Structure 1
Amino acid sequence: MAEPQPPNVQEGADAPDVLPPNAEDRKAAQAMSSLDAKGGEDDAAPKKEMDLKALNNAMKNLGVAQDQKTPSSAAARKEEAPKKLVKVDQADVALLADQLAMSKTKATELLRAHDADAAKAMTAWVTAAV
């Protein structure tokens, strides 16, 4: 037997939409819902441009690039950071590759990130994996 429902619940009704807390997210949600509701209307060109702007803004806030040529902000920050020149001993690379079951390229990158200190690199790898 079914449980009794509160009086304000209608059978077959959709769940109420919950609005996001900030204004930008609300605009993005509104743009997405209007894209779904619009269907095949051709007379709303200005509204379509506004919806696309809102969608693009939402995508930028998520960190997703609009096209493959434009890097996302996280990738751009990573490329802008200056890379340190650290000389890595090949014996340490072989040790990390063997003990941590990784490629020599990844072992070299891990060592460079930890100033060519094998103990620090191994500790960082193990604590990151846990």
Structure 2
Amino acid sequence: MAEKQPPTIVEGATTGDVEDEVPVAKSAEDRKAAAALSSLDTPRDDEAAGGKDVDQEAVKKAMDRLAGTGTANGTSTKKEEENKPVKKVVKVDQADVALLIEELELSKIKATDLLKSHDGKVEEALRAYITPAA
């Protein structure tokens, strides 16, 4: 085999800046998953015997976290469902939708959503659309 390289040299690095090539994990789950996967690659002393004992559960959890399936510690987390706002059932008048389409030059879907977000009140929807956001 080749000589042992200094710790500052990364195998496969082609440019001088390693930080550009190695992605940084943004969330705690990503860091845990990256640590689990990198621990699989590190050589251990007991590998000289020939067999690799890989913790299948740890590998599965790490892969699930990286894939973004939302499972953590064997339980399913429903972040997407918790973050979705609950939409109220609001009936809007089609004449009001037509007014918003004509005056604000919106699509039918956007005009309907704007009316629904203001409980079907045309005046409030118009004022909210025209008023600049602070």
| TM-score between the two structures when normalised by the length of structure 2 | 0.49
Structure 1 or 2, whichever has the larger Rg, is: 2
More helix by proportion, 1 or 2? Answer: 1
